[in-house]
Amino acid sequence: MGKIDKVAFFTNEYPPYVYGGAGVVVEYLSRELIEKVPLEIRCFGDQDLQLPNLTVKGYGPWPEARQNTDPRFGGALDALHRSLAMAKDRLDADIVHAHTWYVQFAGFLAKKLWDVPFVLTTHSLEPLRPWKVEQLGNAYHLSAWIEDNGITQADAVIAVSQGTRDDILNYFDVDPDRVKVIYNGIDLNQYRHTDEVDALVKYGVDPARPYVLFVGRVTRQKGIIHLVNAIPYIDPSIQVVLCAGAPDTPAIGQEMQERVAEVSAGRPGVIWIREMLPKEQVIQYYSNAAVFCCPSVYEPFGIINLEAMACETAVVASAIGGIPEVVVPPGRAGLDPTGELIPLELEPGTFNPVDPARFSRELAEAINAVALNPTLRRTYERNGRKRVEEHFSWSVIAQQTLELYESLV
């Protein structure tokens, strides 16, 4: 075990530009790590920060990335450009840790240029997100190559769940000994139950009536359309609150808009909040929800379920990916239940449910069963908070990450 004097993070997302689970992990893991070791963060953006144990530098976009080409290629080409800039800048860290495919090429180049061990965290896997062809066009094959190169060349690969580790070993030619499971975590002080409701009232949610909550992007991966299709089967006394912005493509945004309008016609209490709310307001929504629903068709970990459980909210989620390692259904030996898991069978080679209508109906049935049963709901709420306190604190996860770094130097 070697001594670590400094760590470098390469990342797409870092505050104030956080829009997904990977950005949440980077934000909180870095906050915990700087209590143990100096940290330099290179990220996409215009950040410029110098603190005693933390340096942050943002790398701006490449204006030519979308010029004279298919505009869908821009994101991947821009990521390559910024990765080159990140890697070529002088580096004095003992470890480079890359987050998401956007910067895995930067981590690989830094390993070669500066002779430092390269660690990456797989927050998701490109082979399991084929719908991204809608978003990236043929540049999807470029992002997939960047990821394959990163995973096969990294000195250590962090999988955010055992399910994700299994996927890595299934899709990539990598030594199993280099793939380690380190879960994501939660800030237990920030994410906790609150009785405040002003954010609910602001957007037309009635705090006196139960509601089911969705939080996430409008994307195929998050399965939001299956929850929308469940609305006709959800008891009309239950409000449906969709905190869902940033559609991946105009097409899925249009599909979502048309379907929400269709299922909410004549059905009051469907509220779609299309902006990204600040954390303090999202915590209010988690805390006051009768049920949080995660209908994802692909979810390596599902940090949103942790957020809901930390706020003492019952969860109904698809039994997919890493979610069953977070949410505990009734009947699992030795563990207290925190919610309901809905079986989800996908068509071979796709992320389309074999029976989408059945999946939506079963989501609705579980939502009704939990939301309309205060005793059951309270059991899940209490157990959920206890589970995140015992297993998912960032301090434990930061220590595990630091020990992995030390094993490489």
Q: Which of 287, 285, 336, 331 is nearest to 309 (CA)?
A: 287
Segment 119-125 shows an average pLDDT of 92
- State the number of CA atoms in the 13 A half-sphere of 128 facing the CB: 23
| Fold match, 7-185+393-408 / 198-391 | yes
CA distances from 253 to 218, 247, 347 (A): 7, 5, 24
pLDDT band at 250 (very low <50, low <70, confident <90, very high): confident
pLDDT at residue 217 is higher than 90: no
pLDDT at residue 350 is higher than 90: no
pLDDT band at 21 (very low <50, low <70, confident <90, very high): confident
| pLDDT 10s digits, 27-56 | 999 999 999 999 999 999 999 999 999 999
pLDDT given at position 76? 92
Beta bridge partners of 121: 99, 158
Element (H, E) at 262: helix 250-264
| DSSP-derived secondary structure for 156-222 | EEEESSHHHHHHHHHHS---GGGEEE----B-TTTS------HHHHHTT--TTS-EEEEEEESSTTT
pLDDT given at position 99? 96
Q: How many residues does the chain have?
A: 409
Q: Which of 298, 390, 303, 404 is nearest to 28 (CA)?
A: 303
pLDDT band at 1 (very low <50, low <70, confident <90, very high): confident
pLDDT at residue 361 is higher than 80: yes
3 state SS of 96: strand
In single-letter form, the type of residue at position 259 comes to: R
Token couple for 7? 């760590």
What's the mean per-residue pLDDT of the chain?
Answer: 94
Omega cis (within 30) before 130? no
In single-letter form, the type of residue at position 244 comes to: A
pLDDT at residue 373 is higher than 80: yes
pLDDT at residue 124 is higher than 90: no
Q: Domain ranges for the chain, please list them.
A: 7-185+393-408, 198-391
Q: Which of 200-209, 241-250, 265-274, 369-378 has the lowest mean pLDDT?
A: 241-250
Segment 284-290 shows an average pLDDT of 98
pLDDT band at 195 (very low <50, low <70, confident <90, very high): very high
- State the number of CA atoms in the 13 A half-sphere of 391 facing the CB: 16
Segment 339-368 shows an average pLDDT of 94
- Let me know if domain 7-185+393-408 sits in CATH 3.40.50.2000: yes
What is the CATH number assigned to the segment(s) 198-391?
A: 3.40.50.2000
| pLDDT 10s digits, 291-314 | 999 999 989 898 999 999 999 999
Q: Taken in order 125, 131, 137, 141, is the CA torsion positive or negative?
A: positive
pLDDT at residue 196 is higher than 90: yes
Q: Determine the Cα–Cα distance for residues 404 and 402; give it in Å rounded to an integer.
A: 5
Q: Which of 94, 83, 79 is nearest to 10 (CA)?
A: 83
Q: Determine the Cα–Cα distance for residues 223 and 217; give it in Å rounded to an integer.
A: 10
pLDDT given at position 126? 86
Q: Number of H helices and number of E strands within the chain?
A: 14, 14
| Cα end-to-end distance, the chain, whole Å | 7
Token couple for 335? 């563990």
Segment 76-84 shows an average pLDDT of 96
pLDDT band at 101 (very low <50, low <70, confident <90, very high): very high
pLDDT given at position 55? 97
In the chain, the percentage of residues whose pLDDT exceeds 90 is 84
Q: Determine the Cα–Cα distance for residues 55 and 15; give it in Å rounded to an integer.
A: 13
Q: Which of 215, 226, 195, 233 is nearest to 271 (CA)?
A: 215
- Please state the pTM of the whole predicted model: 0.83
